[in-house]
Structure 1
Amino acid sequence: MDNIAGKKPALLWAVHISVVALVLLWVVPTFGLLVSSFRTGDQIVSSGWWQALTTQETQQAAVRIAGTEAEKDGAFVIEGNLFPAKGVEISHWGTSSREPEAFAPGETAPLNDGMTLTVQADGAFVLTSPVTTKDMRLPRVFSTASSPPEFTTRNYTNVISSPLAGQSIGQAFINTLTVSIPATIIPILVAAFAAYALAWMEFPGRALLVAFVVGLLVVPLQLALIPLLQFHNWIGIGKGYLGIWMAHTGFGLPLAIYLLRNYMVGLPRDIIENAKVDGATDFQIFVKIILPLSFPALASFAIFQFLWTWNDLLVALVFLGTGNDQQVLTGNLVNLMGSRGGDWEILSASAFVSIAVPLVVFFSMQRFLVRGLLAGSVK
């Protein structure tokens, strides 16, 4: 009774739950990264992205009293606001890091040299001193305050076109596109011709070549980095775009040929034989019949190759370089994490910019992915 036609497998619900869990594990962090990329650095540090739409009460960064001194009733007074543009509401404040919540809003704190400081709930303060404060080091104010949700596009402006060296990823973005697009197109062009020859053209040693291509799939690329770089330097294409295009082409060809050859073998033989009977050459058959029918396989490999070259760091460091005018996005993000590890808003915006293009490529071509991967697996 367990194998009755139409009866759902016992583990169907487990499969569905697993798929939903995998989707959530991928989507939720991506959405959180997107939300964080539009938040300010203070809010990222003080609360999680899921609290982005709620008012948060957090410990604010210490603010040193500053302002224009004025003489009133024989005393020297400085007035101002700790948070002129944030609209925060202070619940407690203090002048020492050991007692950051010593006073309530509106209370007056006695300071050294007869000075007093009063801080209101909206951040307005009044510092009063019996003597001038021009040559004095004014106190810092520590506060606990509730701040409303705040979103900004300044993070993206900074990471794309900031004039600060090491912070902008605009040039790195262009460099990555310059590497990824040719490094995706060239292997497809070469592999498509090779796959057609291995699938439909009769010549001695064809089976041996197929076995050789399959064997190359398991060869780690790290083994070829140094010899290949030495060869590139010997022929004069090392440390440049041409060198990295050729490197990515060589590393991507085994998978491309294997994938496309499996797909082309499964195409109807009658179509090709009829074309040959009508007098079509192999090149005409390849261009007018094989390529249009092989688009799912071409698209599936394009996804893999583009994602690999876009996210690559090792090959780019070896064959391109580490200069600001040569650096790719992955290398730029590594530098940001090292030099600006506390600027989470910069890191989150940079990270989302780096994954935006792969997301667009994947979702625009993902319908071809399964069709291309499963081609040739069943008859």
Structure 2
Amino acid sequence: MSEIAGTRPALRWAVHASVLFLVVLWVVPTLGLFISSFRTADQIATSGWWRAIFPSEQNLTLRSAAPDTQVQENGLYVIEGNLFDAGTTARISKWGISSREIDAFEPGQTAELRKGGTVTVQANGDYRMENTEEFTGSRGTRVFVTAELPPEFTLDNYHKVLLAEDSTDSMAKAFFNTLTVTIPATIIPILVAAFAAYALAWMDFPGRALLIAAVVGLLVVPLQLALIPLLKFHLNIGIGKGYLGVWLAHTGFGMPLAIYLLRNYMAGLPRDLIENARVDGATEFQIFTKLILPLSFPALASFAIFQFLWTWNDLLVAKVFLIDASGETTVMTNSIVELLGTRGGNWEILATAAFVSIAVPLVVFFAMQKYLVRGLLAGSVK
């Protein structure tokens, strides 16, 4: 019975489990990156993103108020206040006045200061410093605390990444630079490849089979093999490094896949449809624009997804064909690499920058993913 057409395969559960595994494998890191982009540096350093909604225990270095806030009470100089910012509901479990012994005291205990006087710290962060002599200095006393802090989410990371005045921190310019590279580099190869695919699918001319074989052969040519020769060619003809050069580079590297995908789809369209249009007097251009292009939209959309994702996430081609020393044409991938090199410890900034980088591809993919499978199956079934 298992071999009868129409029955469910015995390993259907394995297929569903594999699909579920792949979905989880993709969704979990993306969700973690999204949550981390709203967390502070201390929270990221002390707990994983899956504990973002729970209180976390952190080691903090805080300061008391400056000596100029001291008052006299019963012959003693007193400084009082709270170590935490207003509205913070943290609870201190251990504290100390030396970086070597940050857990030397319990809340409510009193410690002797090295410059004289005492300090008492309560669990809620309240402190009281007393001394028979006047406190001196321009800064408050350092207090090391181990405290349980409530979960905190902030938009400061996005403000630093997108709106920072420093060009090395802001990704707003890199965002628009990436759009400037990606949109033309997606549209141009689609326009050119659509004409070529129609000719290879429905027009008879000498050498058509050889051209199709050449297109298939170009699919396996490594990208790295053509970078330097293509750059030298651009320099020789006066294009140089710039947006035009990177557009043409992405167009050339994406053309074989575009022609192959669109040609297979167009070749699978009903022949009677094309012949009837010719009998009615339609020119090849009219058949292409009014008949073939509307019917080939799934294939066009599927390639657009691939080309957009590739050019948006590209770093190598942008490094070779764009001048980014001044930061005027820096793309987002290069901006993230620079953040990683200069701010290796600022994981909250890196997480935010990375999520900003993948936000647009996610929107494009989910908006056009219904055409992806239809386009990929182009020409596979007659």
- Shorter-chain TM-score above 0.5: yes
Query: How many residue pairs align between the two structures?
Result: 378
Which ranges of structure 1 fall in alignment gaps of 5 or more residues?
none
User: Does 1:350 pair with 2:353?
Assistant: yes
**1:328-365, Cα deviation, whole Å (9 max, x unpaired):** 00000011111112112111111111000000000000
- What is the deviation of 1:145? 0.9
CA distance in 2, matches of 1:84, 1:364: 44
Aligned to 2:21: 21
Which residue of structure 2 lines up, in the alignment, with residue 308 of structure 1?
Answer: 310
Of the structure 1 ranges 359-368 and 131-140, higher mean CA displacement relative to structure 2 is found in 131-140
RMSD: 1.4
Q: Does 1:366 align with 2:360?
A: no
For residues 99-110 of structure 1, the aligned pairs below 5 Å read 99-110=101-112
Return the letter of the residue paired with 1:51: R
- Greater shift, 175-184 or 127-136, is seen at 127-136
Residue number in structure 1 paired with 2:84: 83
**Secondary structure of 2:95 counterpart:** strand
Contact 2:171 2:353 in 1 (8 A): yes
**Are 1:375 and 2:378 counterparts?**
yes
1:252 and 2:254 equivalent? yes
SS of 2:60's partner is coil
**What are the Cα deviations for residues 264-308 of structure 1, in whole angstroms up to 9, with x where unaligned?**
000000011001001100000000000000000000000000000
Q: Distance in 2 between matches of 1:226 and 1:293?
A: 39
The letter of the residue matching 2:75 is G
Instruction: Check 1:236–1:132 CA distance in 2 against 1; reply closer, same or farther (3 A cut).
Output: farther
Q: What secondary structure does 1:152 align onto? A: coil
Question: What is the aligned counterpart of 1:292 among 291, 294, 300?
Answer: 294
SS at match of 2:93: strand
Q: Residue deviations 1:42-94, cap 9 Å, x none?
A: 111111111111122x2322123342342413333322322123321111111
Partner Cα distance (1:138, 1:155) in 2: 28
Partner residue, 1:337: 340
What whole-Å deviation, never above 9, does each CA across 1:86-119 have from its counterpart, x for those lacking one? Answer: 3211111111223211111121101223321111
1:326 maps to 329
The Cα of 1:140 is off from its aligned counterpart by: 2.1
**Structure 1 residue 169: deviation in Å?**
0.4
**Structure 2, gaps ≥5 residues long:** none
Per mean C-alpha deviation after superposition, the further-off stretch among 122-131 and 64-73 is 64-73
Aligned mates of 2:119, 2:140 — CA distance in 1: 11
Say whether residues 1:63 and 2:62 are aligned partners. Answer: yes
Q: What is aligned with 1:9?
A: 9
SS at match of 2:294: helix
Kept after mapping to 1: 8 A contact 2:65/2:141: no
Instruction: Kindly state the Cα deviation for residue 136 of structure 1 after the two structures are TM-superposed.
Output: 7.6
Give the Cα–Cα distance (whole angstroms) in 1 for the partners of residues 79 and 117 of structure 2: 11
Q: Distance in 1 between matches of 2:141 and 2:320?
A: 52
SS, match of residue 112 in structure 1: coil
Give % identity.
67
Query: In terms of mean alpha carbon deviation, does 184-193 or 224-233 score higher?
Result: 224-233
Q: Report if aligned partners of 2:42, 2:58 keep a CA contact under 8 Å in 1.
A: no
Displacement of 1:179 in angstroms is: 0.2
Match of 2:94 among 83, 92, 95: 92
C-alpha separation between the residues in 1 aligned to 2:105 and 2:381?
A: 75
Question: Which one-letter code corresponds to 1:337 in the other structure?
Answer: L
For 1:237, the equivalent position in structure 2 comes to 239
* Distance (whole Å) between structure 2 residues aligned to residue 134 and residue 295 of structure 1: 76
Structure 1 residue matching 2:104: 3-state secondary structure: coil
Tell me how far 1:137 sits from its aligned partner: 7.1
Q: For residue 22 of structure 2, what is the amino acid of its counterpart?
A: L
CA contact (8 A) 2:200 2:208 kept: yes
CA distance in 1, matches of 2:155, 2:141: 33
Asked if residue 281 in structure 1 is aligned to residue 283 in structure 2, the reply is yes
Contact 1:69/1:76 (8 A) holds in 2: no
In structure 1, what residue type is equivalent to 2:13? W
Q: Which amino acid aligns with 1:253?
A: M
